[in-house]
Structure 1
Amino acid sequence: MNARSATALLAGLLITHTAFAADPAATTEHARGRYLIAVGGCNDCHSPGYAESGGALPEAEWLTGSNVGFQGPWGTTYAGNLRASAATLDEAAWLALARTPLRPPMPSPSLRAMTDADLVAVYRFIRGLGPAGQAVPAYVPPGGAVRTPYVDFTPRSPSGALARN
């Protein structure tokens, strides 16, 4: 390696280091948001193909929503396109949405248990992915016509009566 190459390499490393050192909290927050998405199971429903790939779906394809419904006594819901939502909501609106009870199977109690800092990290991570994907089908009330594939979440017992635990 000649002196010119070494100087260019050193300059590149310093620029990269300076960029990360300038705002280490942003890098940490990004990693925190990504981590919370992963351990929170968000991709399981909001990223088509994630579960089927054993979690090997490229990050560029995460959180675009699904046209597979979840049907139960509440009707049929769809995992929303979080990337489209984050692109249209500011942080305050995102926090308000996360604190609002949502229809199953969305784990609203888990979202409400998260700190504001965690929810903001999730929001900023998703927003950093940029908008992608299409709108998902609209909610279908109980008894309504469902025109997409769906997973039946209706509790059943062998006798046909609702099981009680």
Structure 2
Amino acid sequence: MMMKKKHMPSFAALLLVSACTVALAETAAPAKAPWSQLQRGRYLVQIAGCNDCHTPNYVQQNGKVHEKLWLTGDALGWSGPWGTTYPTNLRLLLAGMNEQQWLTHARHMEPRPPMPWFNVRAMTDADLKAIYAYTRSLGAAGAAAPAYVPPGTKAAGPVVQFP
């Protein structure tokens, strides 16, 4: 009786089949969709620390503030030799600007401390446009922040005092 010899693939053949399977799986897998401009804007607002000052109680509540309140400014003043400044309601500010006006404002604003204007100016146009789109998508909300108080004048509400 003659036994049939089973065909055993070589190691090289198995390796080739495995490589082809992986290659096919990678090309068949759907590519991740790129972030939309709104998602990017939301992400940038969070990681750039915009909410830290421009959203009421954001830091005090460890970032657990409902998104409907984001970027509506704050009545907590920042006081120092420059006077007292208040975080702008960015939703109202950007509601009154077109995208080009926002880019110009972001590049040429003359903010008072503690606004980290150097970080905003370092952003790319794409970053700033994403922040603009996201902020505008939230809609105008809230009230304007209190007006700047010059040096030597006492602020009416609570302030963070710098030396």
TM-score surpassing 0.5?
A: yes
**Residue 79 (structure 2) aligns with:** 71
> How is 1:1-165 mapped onto 2 (pairs within 5 angstroms)?
28-99=36-107, 100-154=109-163
Q: Counterpart amino acid of 2:48?
A: G
Tell me the distance in 2 between the aligned counterparts of 1:50 and 1:75. 23
| 3-state SS of paired residue (1:121) | helix
1:127 & 1:63 partners in 2: Cα distance? 10
Superimposed CA distance per residue, residues 3-22 of structure 1 (whole angstroms, 9 cap, x where no aligned partner) = xxxxxxxxxxxxxxxxxxxx
Cα drift, residue 65 of structure 1: 0.4
Q: After superposition, what is the alpha-carbon deviation per residue over 1:4-47, rounded to whole angstroms, capped at 9, x for unaligned?
A: xxxxxxxxxxxxxxxxxxxx77x611111001100011101110
Tell me how far apart the structure 1 counterparts of residues 155 and 61 of structure 2 sit (CA, whole Å). Answer: 26
Q: Secondary structure at the match of 1:89?
A: coil
Identity %: 52
Secondary structure in 1 matching 2:143: coil
Aligned residue pair count: 130
Divergent runs of 4+, >6 A = none
Give 5+ residue unaligned stretches, structure 1: 1-23, 155-165
In structure 1, the residue matched to 2:10 is none
- Amino acid across the alignment from 1:62: W
Q: CA deviation at 1:101?
A: 2.9
Shift, 1:73, TM fit: 1.1
- Deviation track 1:140-163 (CA, whole Å, cap 9, x = no partner) reads 111123111100012xxxxxxxxx
Q: Secondary structure at the match of 1:36?
A: helix
1:158 alignment partner in structure 2: none
**Where in structure 2 are there 5+ consecutive unaligned residues?**
1-32
TM (norm. structure 1) is: 0.75
What secondary structure is seen at the aligned counterpart in 1 of 2:36? helix
In structure 2, C-alpha distance between the alignment counterparts of 1:96 and 1:105, rounded to whole Å? 20
Secondary structure of 1:151's counterpart equals strand
